[in-house]
Structures are given as C-alpha cells and as structure tokens.
Amino acid sequence: MVNIPQLLQEDATQTSEWLDGYFDALKDASAQHLLAAMRYSAMNGGKRVRASLVLSAARLASSQQSSLASSQQSSPASSQESYQPAHLAVAGAVEMLHAYSLIHDDLPAMDDAELRRGVASCHKAFDEATAILAGDALQTEAFSLLSKPGLMADASRQLELCAVLARASGVVGMAGGQMLDLQAETSASDPAQTKIMQELKTGALIRASAVMGVIIGGGDKRMQNAVDKFASHLGLAFQIADDLLDYQADADQLGKPAGRDAEQGKASFVELLGLEEARRQADSLIEDGCASLDQFGDAADGLRGLAQFVINRNH
Amino acid sequence: MVNIPQLLQEDATQTSEWLDGYFDALKDASAQHLLAAMRYSAMNGGKRVRASLVLSAARLASSQQSSLASSQQSSPASSQESYQPAHLAVAGAVEMLHAYSLIHDDLPAMDDAELRRGVASCHKAFDEATAILAGDALQTEAFSLLSKPGLMADASRQLELCAVLARASGVVGMAGGQMLDLQAETSASDPAQTKIMQELKTGALIRASAVMGVIIGGGDKRMQNAVDKFASHLGLAFQIADDLLDYQADADQLGKPAGRDAEQGKASFVELLGLEEARRQADSLIEDGCASLDQFGDAADGLRGLAQFVINRNH
C-alpha cells in the first residue's frame, strides 16, 4: 500500500516548486504587480488535492502504459516516483484555475472573506481591482499552459485537456455552481438542488483534474470513464467533508471563521442531512467511487488512498 | 474595392447571430441567471471590430488557399461572401473574450462605469457578483469554443488558436495592460510607458484576432507574420483613435461620458502628444501597417478597408 500522506506531501511540494519556476520565468513581464498577486494566491495552495488527483491519475495511466510496454517490448517500467514535467504542467494548470476561483469567491461582492487558508485573501493583501485581474489572468494562464505546443505528442489529446478544463470551469461547471450557491443564500434549497450546485461548484473541477491526469498519462477512454466515475463520487464526498469541517472545526484550525457558510445561509449538506447522515453518505460515496477502480488492481492505490485522505482530513 | 461599411455590418450581424445561437444551445444549463448576464454583455457587441478582423483575415487566408487549389486542381474558388461556421466560432470566441474584459473593466473596483455602449453595464443590469462571474465564464467559454474537437482538421494548428488567445489575454497581454492602466492613474506616464500599456491592453487582442483569422482560414506562417505586423500597427492606431474620440465626441454619441478617461488620470495619447500629432501618428501607423499587406494584392482589401474604417469612425 502506498504511503498516502507522504505521497500527497510530495505531490504538493513538487507542484508548488513547479509553479514557482513558472512565475520566475515571467520575471520580464511589464505587469509585475499583477504577477505578484497571481503568485501570492497560487502559492498559497494548501494541500493541493486537485494537483494530487492529476498526478495520481497520471501515475495510474502511466503504469498501465509502461506495463503494456514491458510486456510487449521488455523495457523496464518507469519509476512511479518520478515527476514528469508534462504531468506537473497539468497539475499546475488545475491549481491556477482553482486559485483564480478562490480569489474571486473571496471578493467583497461574493463571500467577502478576509482570510484564505489563514492568511490575507488576495484583495486584502493587494486591492480589489488587482485581485479581480489576478483571478482573470490565472484562468488565462491555465489555458496557456494546456495549449503550449508540444505538451503532448498527440495534439488532439492535448486539445481534449483544454476542452475538459473549459467545460468544468464555465457556465455549465464551476462558475455556474458559484452562481447557484450565491442564489441559494436568498432562497430555500432542497437536497437535490444542493447536490446539483455542489456537483458544478466543486465536483466539476475535481472530475476534470482526475480525467486530465488520465489524458496526460496516456490512459485510454475506458480508464478515463472509470476514473471520471470515481472522481464524481469523490467530488461530492469532498464537499460533504468540507461541510462537516465547517461545522466542527474551530476557527484556528481551519483558517477561516467556522460555521460561516451557515451564517450566510449557504446551502450545506450537514444542514440538510444532519451530521450523522452526512458522514454516512460521505463514506458510502467513497466506497461506491472506489468500486470503479477495482479493474486496475494495486495501480489505483494512490487514488484510493487519496479518497480516504480527503474524507478523513481534519483541516 | 470592397464595400467596407457593408462588409463590417454583415460581419457584425453574422457574428451576433452565431453568438445568439450559441447561447440558445445552452438553454438547459442550471445557471440560467448567469447565462443571461453573459448573453446580455456578449450581445451588446458594438461594431465587433475584432470579429471583423478575424473574418477579414480568414477571408484573405481562404482566398489564398482557394487560388492555390484552383491553380492546382482547377476547382472553383469558394465565394468570399460565405461565412464558414469555424470562422464564426473563432470570431465568437474573440468577442466573448472582449466582452469579458469590458464587464470586468466596468466594475466599481475598476473603472466604475454605469454605461457601456449606451446601456447599463453588466453589474448595473444584474449585480456585481453576477457580473464578475459572467466575465469569468465568458473567458472560459472562449477557450471552450477554441478547443472544441474538430473545429480544425489539424489539431496542432487548433492548439495554436488557444495559445495565441491565451498569450494575448493574460499577464503578458490584456490583463497585464489593464493593470498598468490602473497603476497609471496614480503615477505619471511618459509616451513610451503609455505605448507599452496600450500594446498590452488593446493591441494584444487585436493582433491575436487577426492572427487567429489567418490560422482558421488556413494561411501559412508567412501570412501570419505579415498580418500580425499589420495588426500591431492597427492596434496602436485604434487606441489613438479611441483617445481622440474620447476628447472630441459628446456623451450622447459615444454612450459614455466624454473626457472621462482624462478625469480619472488615465494615460492617453492625446494628452501626451496633443490632438494634431496624435491624429498624424494614427494615419502614419495605418500607412505603415498596410505596407506589410502589399504582397497579397487585392485579396487584402478587406483588411485595408477595415483599418481605414477604424481610424475614421466617429463613435
């Protein structure tokens, strides 16, 4: 069994270092103030669960590729511990997209949050105009990364990376979900509506991360579909776990005032289902999601461990 | 000689109809309120100069392709008047990107503009949170359009479409330029700094539009470079013409309070150069830009006429 906390830590470190290098390479840009704000938020990356999803799915896909290669050509399987620049570029793109969404969610007109992961949110550390532009430009940079010539040998697969991220992020994905979440503040929600909102707001990018990992790792459509199914369950479990944390954790541990979502009238699974039922559903979702990984045997242990980690984390 | 006002009108109409159909196709999206805000701003498209640039450059490239084809295969040249769906998709993507930038520029934290082209700006017609998300999602939709499978037969050329737009829009392009423009409000600017700011803020997307037109029309690298050079001159001339309008037009004609940029202390060519010199430089830029189109003969008349139109418009 893979040592998951260690692997997650290494994924997060490698992704952060890669991002750091990426921003370094932009040191000649005229708009240094904007770059500083982008960097500030992108480097405040927390556990980088989405990057780990990309990298774990890419490792699964690569191991299938290399076991195919070794059975056909007797070449040695590549080390699962190595980080390929193309995998890190995709992980970096997903983290930039996520960072953009957090910057804009924190704006005064949205959630009006002064803290993000225990430090000043972007518009507090800089100003509102700079934060809007930093979010905008981080989104652009994600697509810039994914469309870079030669990232993949197969250009049509590379186009799929862009298409998957775009679909997950726009009006039928994350941005649409954030809109529904804001609307839920002023109108009553039922569990079905809350599920749709969460699938868009959080779930879509989590699914996209896993699917993009399969694509960059060279996995086939069958693996892509299986991992997508796993990730759709994971996404919902992830959000339930987040809601549980919001109710249970104290402010110090979480880095934002606990119970804040409830105060703002935001739709939450805990409020709708109660603590015990929410916890039971999260466990059951992870179990169902992992079932679709059975076909890959031990090679999917990374994704399984990541799923367990996600619902058991306490901050 | 092409009838330019008529052609521009037809380009604008076709692009708007195409966008309308695109939003219609999203009628099942959960976030209908967000979609309405995106549509509101994207359909308030003005003259759609960027779409015309895409379409004119695509016509130039297509005519070269078809004259090659007819000389080699004796097939009839395709009608220059027809609008190909792929050309309109690229024009639509550029207009969505532009609409996003206007929505965010108008926000209270940025230019705080209540009107855009004579009607309520997005955050006035909806609210601030919705406007931020509408801009965000329009940017995403632009990349979604460009990464759609099969838009071009050659996937690596299609990836270039995404890469060109991303580069033009992000920290080394439009968003960076907007940041520099905001910073110029509080510090003195010289003509060199103002030129850099304008090249990023306005010029980059104008160049990208023309280059993307060549790519989608199937033009080669040589045409791409020549049209890029033309468009870089056009972009600066366009901004000078805008500054001239801001000083001269009255509020009714322009749809926003005249002289407003000057009030806000925004860097302007007219302020830096004076009216007469600014006008002279715009003419000279257009002349220099058009010189790089000489090699294409009459086939580039559309782009030439568009350039003349851009600096002679009075609203």
- Mean pLDDT is lowest, of A41-50, B46-55, B193-202, B248-257, for B248-257
Chains A and B form CB pairs within 8 A to the count of 179
Query: Which of B63-67, B100-104, B129-133 is least confident?
Result: B63-67
Position A315 confidence tier, pLDDT thresholds 50, 70, 90: low
pLDDT averaged over chain A? 89
Q: Give the mutation candidate from A103, A158, A171, A264 for the B interface (greatest B CB count, under 10 A).
A: A171
Is the pLDDT at B260 greater than 70, yes or no?
no
Q: Which residue has the higher pLDDT, B240 or A229?
A: A229
Taking contacts as CB-CB distances below 8 angstroms, the residues of chain B near A128 are 109
Q: Does position B56 have pLDDT exceeding 90, yes or no?
A: yes
Question: How much is the pLDDT for B176?
Answer: 98
| CA nearest to B103 within chain A | A132
pLDDT surpasses 50 at A40: yes
Residues in CB range of B311: below 8 A, 6 or more apart: B237, B238, B240, B241, B282, B283, B286
pLDDT in tens, A262-296: 555 566 788 888 888 999 999 999 999 999 999 99
Chain B CA closest to residue A164: B144
Name the residue of chain A whose CA is nearest to B29's CA. Answer: A172
Residue B156 has pLDDT above 90, yes or no: yes
> Which residues in chain B have Cβ-Cβ distances shorter than 8 Å to A183?
33
Q: Where are the domains of chain B?
A: 4-312
Average pLDDT over residues A295-306: 95
Instruction: Give the percent of chain B with pLDDT over 90.
Output: 73
Nearest CB among A158, A163, A175 relative to B148 is that of A163
| Residue in chain B nearest A171 by alpha carbon | B137
Q: What is the greatest pairwise CA distance in chain A?
A: 62
Checking DSSP bridges between strand A115-116 and strand A119-120, what pairing results, if any?
A: antiparallel
- pLDDT tens digits, one per residue of B293-311: 999 999 999 999 999 988 8
Average pLDDT over residues B309-314: 79
Q: What is the pLDDT of residue B20?
A: 97
Q: How confident is the model at residue A4 (pLDDT cuts 50, 70, 90)?
A: confident
pLDDT digits over B62-86, tens only?
998 777 666 554 433 344 457 999 9
**Which pLDDT belongs to residue A86?**
98
The listed CATH number (2.40.110.10, 1.20.1250.20, 1.10.600.10, 3.30.420.40) that belongs to domain B4-312: 1.10.600.10
Contact yes or no for A147/B162 (Cβ under 8 A) = yes
d(CA B277, CA B90): 36
Check pLDDT > 70 for residue A305: yes
Best of A140, A145, A146, A183 to substitute, by most chain B Cβ atoms within 10 angstroms, is A140
Q: Distance between CA atoms of B219 and B293, rounded to whole angstroms?
A: 14
Whether the pLDDT of residue B207 is over 90: the answer is yes
Which residues face A120 on adjacent strands? Answer: A115
- Quick check: B170 and A141 CB within 8 A? yes
Q: Distance (Å) from the C-alpha of residue B25 to the closest C-alpha of chain A?
A: 12
A163 contact residues in B (CB cutoff 8 A)? 144, 147-149
Among A113, A98, A85, CA closest to A41? A98
Contact A31 B137 (CB under 8 A): no
Average pLDDT estimate for A234-250: 84
Q: Does B144 contact A180 at a Cβ distance shorter than 8 Å?
A: no
- The ipTM (two decimal places) reads 0.92
Q: What is the pLDDT of residue B64?
A: 85
- Please check whether residue B128 is in contact with residue B107, taking contact to mean a CB–CB distance below 8 angstroms: yes
Chain B contact for A315 (CB, 8 A cutoff): no
pLDDT tens for each residue of A121-147: 999 999 999 999 999 999 999 999 999
| Interval A146-166 mean pLDDT | 97
Mutate to test the interface with B, among A96, A141, A147, A161 (most CBs of B within 10 A): A147
Among 3.10.450.30, 1.10.274.10, 1.10.240.10, 1.10.600.10, what is the CATH number of A4-71+81-312? 1.10.600.10
- Please tell me the pTM assigned to this model: 0.93
Q: Which of A175-179, A180-184, A272-276 has the highest mean pLDDT?
A: A175-179
For residue B158, the model assigns a pLDDT of 98
- Which B residues 21-50 touch A at CB under 8 Å? 26, 29-31, 33-35, 38
Q: Which residues of B touch A167 (CB under 8 A)?
A: 144
Q: What would the pLDDT profile of A189-199 be if each residue is shown by its tens digit?
A: 788 888 899 99
Which chain B residue has its CA at the smallest distance from A170's CA?
B137
Residue B272 CA to residue A24 CA, distance in Å, equals 34
DSSP A228-272: HHHHHHHHHHHHHHHHHHHHHS-HHHHSS-TTHHHHTT---HHHH
The shortest CB-CB distance from A110 to any of B132, B135, B148 is to B132
Q: What is the pLDDT of residues A44-85, one digit of tens each?
A: 998 999 999 999 999 999 998 777 666 554 433 344 457 999
* Average model confidence (pLDDT) across chain B: 89
> Which residue did the predictor score with more confidence, A75 or B5?
B5
Residue A115 is inside which H or E element, if any?
A: strand A115-116
Nearest CA to CA, how far is B283 from chain A (Å)?
Answer: 27
Candidates A266, A273, A269, A208; CA nearest to A238 is: A269
- In chain B, residues with a C-beta closer than 8 Å to the C-beta of A129 are 107, 109-110, 182
Query: Are A132 and B104 inside 8 Å of each other by CB?
Result: yes
User: Would you place residue B98 in the very low, low, confident or very high pLDDT band (cuts 50, 70, 90)?
Assistant: very high
DSSP B75: P
Query: Is a pLDDT exceeding 90 seen at residue B269?
Result: no
As a whole number, mean pLDDT of residues B168-183 equals 96
The nearest alpha carbon in chain B to A108 belongs to B129
User: Angle at the Cα of A52 (from A47 to A55), degrees rounded to 5?
Assistant: 155
What integer pLDDT is reported at residue B287 of this predicted model? 95
pLDDT of amino acid B4: 84
- A256: pLDDT confidence band, cut at 50, 70 and 90? low
Report CB contact under 8 Å: B139, A140: yes
Nearest CA in chain B to A165: B144
| CA-to-CA dists, residue A5 to A245, A305, B102, angstroms | 19, 9, 44
Say if CB A179 and CB B134 are below 8 A apart: no
Instruction: Tell me the nearest-neighbour CA distance from B163 into chain A, angstroms.
Output: 5
pLDDT at A189: 74
Residue of chain A nearest B97, judged by CA positions: A140
Confidence check: pLDDT of B289 > 90: yes
Q: Determine whether the interchain pair B176/A136 forms a contact, defined as Cβ–Cβ distance below 8 Å.
A: no
At B165 the pLDDT is 98
Q: Cβ separation of A34 and B171 shorter than 8 Å?
A: yes
Residue A183 is inside which H or E element, if any? helix A174-184
Q: Residue A258 pLDDT more than 50?
A: yes
Listed by number, the residues of chain A in 150-189 with a beta carbon closer than 8 Å to a beta carbon of chain B are 154-156, 158-160, 162-163, 165-167, 169-173, 175-180, 182-183
pLDDT in tens, A13-35: 999 999 999 999 999 999 999 99
- A19's tokens: 């991002």
What whole-number distance in Å separates Cα of residue A54 and Cα of residue A221? 16
User: Residue range A247-256: average pLDDT?
Assistant: 58
Average pLDDT value for residue range A90-119: 97
- State the smallest CA–CA distance between residue A46 and chain B in angstroms: 23
Which alpha helices (H) appear in chain B, and where do they start and end?
A: 4-24, 32-43, 49-73, 85-106, 122-125, 128-146, 155-169, 174-184, 191-198, 204-216, 221-248, 251-254, 260-263, 269-273, 275-291, 301-312
pLDDT score recorded for residue B247: 79
